[in-house]
Structure 1
Amino acid sequence: MLKGIVDRGKISEETLLNREAQIEKEALDRFLKESSKRDRENVTMTASDDMLIARKRVINKKDSLAMERILGQNDLVPILYLQKGFEVGKSVCRITIRNKVGNVIGSGTGFMIGNGIIMTNNHVIPDIDTAMCAIAEFNYQNDENFMPCQIYYYKMNPKKFFITDKSLDFTIIAIKKELSNGKSYEDFGYIKLIPEEGKVMEGEYVSIIQHPKGGPKSVTLRENKVKHIFDDYLHYMTDTEPGSSGSPVFNDQWIVVGLHHSGVPNPDSKGEWIANEGIRISSIANFIGKEYSNLNSDGKKIVGEIFPDLKIKDLNDDQKNDYKDDDTSDDIPTNVRTGYNPNFLGKDFKVDLPKLNEKMEKDVSRMKDGNYVLDYVHFSIVMCKSRGLAYFTAVNIDGENLVKIKRSDDDWRFDTRINIENQYGNEVYNKNDLDRGHLVRRNDPNWGEHAYQANEDTFHFTNSAPQHKDLNQKIWLGLEDYILKNADKMNIKVSVFTGPVFKEDDMIYRKKFKIPADFWKVVTVVKDNGTLSATAYIQTQENMIDDLEFAYGAYETYQVPVRKIEELTGLDFGDLSKYDPIANVEFSGLRITDENDIRL
């Protein structure tokens, strides 16, 4: 829920009518003002090259007539246009508004934009009290024989998710998962939203799937010409009736370009309309992006599913200046954040943090006291100042006392004990195939009394690195599982070091971010025969990051000697090579395809 935006109130039929009348007046004022402005400035609906480029981005290349339709040179559409319209129409529902005793006092239209997530107008569902008495009705339409279809009813679930804004006249709300006549809301699918501008141009034709006057589902098809696109609004000449508020406005590719919210009344003839007005989806997306930080972790996850390419408003320069070196990331006591313990494996098996070379020490992010080891719960991190990423992370894993914690917090945050300008933030991860790869896996430090704080600590940007989604989700994540499974079952303890390989020729992304091509891991464990084992691994994403917008490809994982990691990184792991089972094997690396390839 967005703080400070939702006002709980009472709804009545009179309130609904007054709100609609006010919206219609505001829509008329905007329409007349925009029309007058264009008449004065002699503005014509001519598409610029930039507009056409933006518009082409959402066109299927196989639709050979698409640009001719957009430019008004051809009205032909492929027959599948009707089939696609029928498919997206399944996600459109009627919304009935009821009073406390269950009587229907109003209706509107809504449409599913995610699994169990509906969009409609704020003036349809303005607050939580109204939502609690509203019903989403799917399949309220007639079949091919003009007979009523089976209707499926779902109650609203604003406690799970509820965002609204009066000025943009939108509400996004969850519905309850309970089956209706044996049918899940997932059976109706949902309409994917695109946050960017440029999905429709003036002069194009749009279609609207709606429940006019609260009646069965209907559609206005392609006779609806877009007249104005400005600020947060679309004006289009189309037939809609009361009850159509909250309907999706589609372009020729059945992509939602607007949220219908009002007719524009004819000032000279009561009961007639001169146009209709919708809210641009890009404006709603921008609003949510700016308010993202006010959402709880579950809300952020839902927004990520609705708008996977949403541009989240990151810290601006003024906010960044508010962070000083002597700030702490929170009020967690230092006796909780004890960091990595070198004696974790036992008094006879001390494993110290790797040492930085002289060049690295000059390029390390330091706290106010001069220390550069950032301690968290059960793990520590040392950051490279110039690269904005960790030189390495070090974590102790107590497999016997692990606490299973469900992932619910993707609220990545800066560690303000060091300068946040030297930490890669959200800017590097938006609109591409890069994951915020946990260097210390989220589950690994989650053991003992402070397991939940350990889980929270793993979501610092200091612990993230840009990793292609395919690299971040496969064999790399299984290495430690395998080590744990094969360690002494009575004393399952492991210490793990992880980090990127920094190279001078690493790809520069978005003109400022160097993306590591390789990542390494060193795992230390006491085997069941009472001896120490130190094994090292390296994985490359080099073939994946050549073109981050389109890259897909194979990745490779290798077990390598510990000394190879020292050569690649400049780190000194002390005498760990003595306990490396492949220290003296002469090969560049042992290719790992599954756990059976690993040598302890």
Structure 2
Amino acid sequence: MADEKMDRIERAALARYQKLQQDRKREAAAAAGPETMDVRRSVINPHDSLAAERIIHRSDLFPIAYLEAGLIAAKSVCRISLRNHQGQIKGYGTGFLISPSLILTNNHVVDSYDTALNAVAEFNYEDDVNFMPRTIVPFRLEPERLFITDEALDFSVIAVQEKGLSGARVSDFGYLPLLPMPGKILEGEYVSIIQHPKGGPKAVTVRENEVKFLSDHFVHYASDTEPGSSGSPVFNDQWIVSALHHAGVPDPADPTKWIANEGIRISSILHHLHGERGKLDAAGASLLDGVLPEAPIPDSPAAPIEVGELAADWYNDAGGYDPAFLGEGLNVPLPPVKDAADVAETLDGGKELDYTHFSIVMSRSRRLAYYSAVNIDGSQLVEVKRSNDKWYFDPRMAREFQSGPELYARNDLDRGHLTRRQDPNWGRDAVQANAHTFHFTNSAPQHKGLNQKTWLSLEDYILENAGANGFKVNVFTGPVFRDDDVVYRGEFRIPAEFWKVAVMAKEGGALSATAYLLTQRDLIGDLEFAYGPFQTFQVPLALLDELAGIDWSALQPHDPLANVEGAGARLIAGRGDIRL
């Protein structure tokens, strides 16, 4: 029965391969275009300067750390030992950890709850440098905690025992995170596969495995794999999992030979898992949240803040906010700060810090940004993974005007991005823009209860409209500095309110400038100092001019609330309340 199932899988793989082969013959431009390359670049470590050259076959050079990264990735790969109820071996496959508690393999390896119940994940089944076997570390699978499988995409996700009989913990073997965006691998690139061929010791095929075709759910590549390799991770050059290996493509002229291999795209698996989450109990959903990209990033306020330093040349091409970004005749300059003497200067005498696609104006007295200003190009947005939470001081401004770990460490204050991490991530510089958002200059202390759903929904609404309609938008964000802000640790005053202004061109070419305020104050009634839950209001720009100490007079004629008699604050309970 298992052989018949595998035959069906291989025949389907061959049919897909042949169809793609025919399609490519009809397509003159099969090579990846610039937009696809931008997405591919988004998952490249910016310090790997030769990565793009490898992608387009102009270089075979790797940093030596490539080998070390492969060894780290290999720790999470295990042999799946399949057994019957009596404990007798029935066969082998490969799997790998995708969270500290979950393993991913093929459906045709572990196709049912009962099969999973009798299976064992064996880590460390490999030889050392002297070709001596290492000690195998086994863990039982625990489908009663979580078991999700799909025959069409040929994958299974199964919970694994967290502590084995030997006392070892499965978390000691790390895990391979799954990234949701497509484009982690391109046709013509090369992949590596870590596997247990024929159930034997761990082995690897390194890079000389060309990707032939990509389709909606599958990847075809020329590679060396064996039975037992089913369920192996397929890596790109950055050791990011791009596919789940599941079948060979048989040669139609000689069924004993293979012309390629096929894997299932990770983006397709994640999409399916997202749809399954609602069917799980609370415990199962919690386990799956460790894999799904929509899961919140865990952040312990008590954890030490990792501070990094970017090389000076990272700023060379940072053009900053572009006032002419929206088009001819739609110039939107940076708004002046009313207290000009309080604007912190850069070391070379400038008034703003320019980053990739955004700029920041800093306050000397508050050691925080007066505001950030970002250009968003909805037609070129690139999804860039959040690889870590390392934050940076800006070497172009005196440290005395920047607030770092001395403000944010060991408390419940979030380091809230003013220019949101995703907003400047567009075009060829998306990766650099993402890194630039992690500057302390782009951060403001926000209590963990402040990031209310409506405020986040507002940010999403602005970004999604830019993406969906392919238009451009300028977004300004900053805190409200009040004299009665709470003093913290004897030197920092914590802003209790934040504002945002979105500027875009409407149909016909006229500007629209809308202002929003996140506050605990009751802006609709007369209870000016009656504090309650944080709420988001759309407010006239004239009010924001007064509250934020920023001169918005140039944009006030373009405010949809400006000419409405009696217009005041409008409570934003949902997207339908926003007036553009």
Q: Which TM class, normalised by the smaller chain length?
A: 0.5 to 0.7
Whole-angstrom CA distance in 1 between matches of 2:280 and 2:461? 32
- The two structures have a TM-score, normalised by structure 1, of 0.54
Q: 1:113 to 1:160 in 2, by over 3 A?
A: same
Distance in 1 (CA, whole Å) between partners of 2:24 and 2:7 is: 26
Partner in structure 1 of residue 134 of structure 2? 149
1:26: which partner in 2? 12
Match of 1:486 in 2: none
The partner residue of 1:269 within 254, 257, 282 is: 254
Alignment of structure 1 residues 103-142 onto 2, 5 Å: 103-142=88-127
Alpha carbons of 1:572 and 1:51: their partners in 2 closer, same or farther (altered >3 Å)? Answer: same
CA distance in 1 between partners of 2:106 and 2:446 (Å): 45
Q: Tell me by how many angstroms 1:570 deviates.
A: 3.2
Tell me the equivalent position of 2:523: 569
Alignment correspondent of 2:150: 165
Cα deviation for residue 539 of structure 1 reads: 5.1
| Matched-pair contact (CA < 8 Å) for 2:126–2:202 | yes
CA contact (8 A) 1:204 1:225 kept: yes
In 2 relative to 1, CA 154–542 (structure 1 residues): closer, same or farther, beyond 3 Å? same
C-alpha separation in 1, matches of 2:207 and 2:413: 41
Q: Secondary structure at the match of 1:63?
A: coil
Once the two structures are superposed, residues 49-81 of structure 1 have per-residue CA deviations (whole angstroms, 9 ceiling, x without a partner) of 111011010011111111111001111111111
The aligned residue for residue 221 of structure 1 is 206
Rg comparison, structure with higher value = 1
Cα distance, 1:21 vs. partner?
1.7
**1-structure distance, mates of 2:272, 2:263:** 16
Q: SS in structure 2 opposite 1:60?
A: coil
Check 1:518–1:129 CA distance in 2 against 1; reply closer, same or farther (3 A cut).
Answer: farther
CA distance, structure 1, for counterparts of residue 107 and residue 481 of structure 2 = 48
**Pairwise mapping of residues 384-533 of structure 1 onto structure 2 (< 5 A)?**
470=415, 476=447, 509-510=462-463
The C-alpha deviation readout for 1:455-511, integer Å capped at 9, x for no partner, is: xxxxxxxxxxxx9954699995799xxxxxxxxxxxxxxxxxx99999xx9997326
Pair 145,37 (structure 1): closer, same or farther in 2 beyond 3 Å: same
Residue of structure 2 equivalent to 1:3:
none
Which amino acid in 2 is paired with 1:30?
A: R
For the 8 Å contact 2:189–2:211, the answer to whether it is kept is yes
Identity value in percent: 43
Give, in whole Å, the separation in 2 of the partners of 1:251 and 1:50: 19
How far has the Cα of 1:43 moved from its partner? 4.2
Deviation at 1:519, TM superposition (A): 13
TM-score (norm 2): 0.55
SS in 2 for 1:153: strand
Specify whether residues 49 and 431 from structure 1 end up closer, same or farther in structure 2 by C-alpha distance, changes over 3 A only.
closer
Amino acid at match of 1:279: I
Write the distance in 2 (CA, Å) between the matches of 1:431 and 1:546. 26
Matched, 1:206 2:191: yes
Match of 1:420 in 2: none
Is this contact kept in 2: 1:501–1:519, CA < 8 A?
no
Does residue 540 in structure 1 map to residue 496 in structure 2? yes
Check conservation: 1:500, 1:519, Cα contact below 8 A: no
**C-alpha separation between the residues in 2 aligned to 1:42 and 1:304?**
40
Q: Which amino acid aligns with 1:258?
A: A
Q: 2:290 aligns to what SS in structure 1?
A: helix
Q: 1:271 to 1:431 in 2, by over 3 A?
A: closer
Contact 1:45–1:203 (Cα < 8 Å) also in 2: no
**CA deviation after TM superposition for structure 1 residue 540, in Å:** 3.2
Could you tell me whether the CA contact under 8 Å between 2:198 and 2:229 is conserved in 1? yes
TM-superposed deviation, 1:38: 2.0
Which residue matches 1:192?
A: 177
Supply the distance in 1 between the matched residues of 2:98 and 2:523 (Cα, whole angstroms). Answer: 46
Q: Which amino acid aligns with 2:186?
A: M
Alignment of 1:92-103 (within 5 A): 92-103=77-88
Partner Cα separation in structure 1 for residue 254 and residue 529 of structure 2: 90
Contact kept? 1:194, 1:309, Cα under 8 Å: no
1:284 deviates by 0.8
SS at match of 1:94: strand
Distance 2:109 2:249 in 1: 18
Secondary structure class of the residue paired with 1:279: strand
**What is the count of residue pairs matched by the alignment?**
358
CA distance in 1, matches of 2:118, 2:185: 35
Task: For 1:50 and 1:298, locate their aligned partners in 2 and report how far apart those are by CA, in whole Å.
Answer: 40
2:210 is paired with a residue of what secondary structure?
Answer: strand
Q: Distance in 1 between matches of 2:495 and 2:385?
A: 24
CA RMSD of aligned residues (A): 3.9
User: Is residue 281 from structure 1 mapped to residue 281 from structure 2 by the alignment?
Assistant: no
Matched, 1:302 2:287: yes
Residue 43 to residue 180, structure 1, CA distance change in 2 (3 Å): farther
Determine the C-alpha separation between the residues in 1 that align with 2:108 and 2:30: 31
Give deviations 1:380-434, integer Å, cap 9, x for gaps: xxxxxxxxxxxxxxxxxxxxxxxxxxxxxxxxxxxxxxxxxxxxxxxxxx9999x
Give the whole-Å Cα distance in 2 for the aligned partners of 1:204 and 1:181.
41
Please tell me the residue identity of whatever aligns with 1:17.
D
Measure, in 1, the Cα distance between the counterparts of 2:295 and 2:530: 45
For 1:29 and 1:69, the matched residues in 2 are separated by 30
Structure 2: distance between partners of 1:471 and 1:499:
12
Provide structure 1 residue ranges, at least 5 long, that are not aligned to the other structure. Answer: 1-14, 312-429, 434-466, 480-497, 521-536, 548-563, 578-587, 589-600
| 8 A contact 1:162–1:173 mirrored in 2 | yes
Q: 2:42 aligns with which of 57, 61, 71?
A: 57
2:277 equivalent to 1:292: yes
In the alignment, the residues of structure 1 paired with residue 8 and residue 459 of structure 2 have an alpha-carbon distance, to the nearest angstrom, of 57
Other structure's SS at 1:271 match: strand
Contact 2:413–2:448 (8 Å) recurs in 1: no
1:108 touches 1:214 (CA, 8 Å); kept in 2? Answer: yes
The separation in 2 between residues aligned to 1:180 and 1:474, in whole angstroms, is 46
Task: Tell me: CA distance 1:232–1:501, structure 2 relative to 1, closer, same or farther (3 Å).
Answer: closer
CA distance in structure 1 between the partners assigned to 2:248 and 2:459 by the alignment: 55
In the TM superposition, residue 286 of structure 1 has moved relative to its aligned partner by 1.4
Q: CA deviation at 1:214?
A: 0.4
Distance in 1 separating the partners of 2:266 and 2:36: 17
Q: Is the 8 A contact 1:499 1:519 kept in 2?
A: no
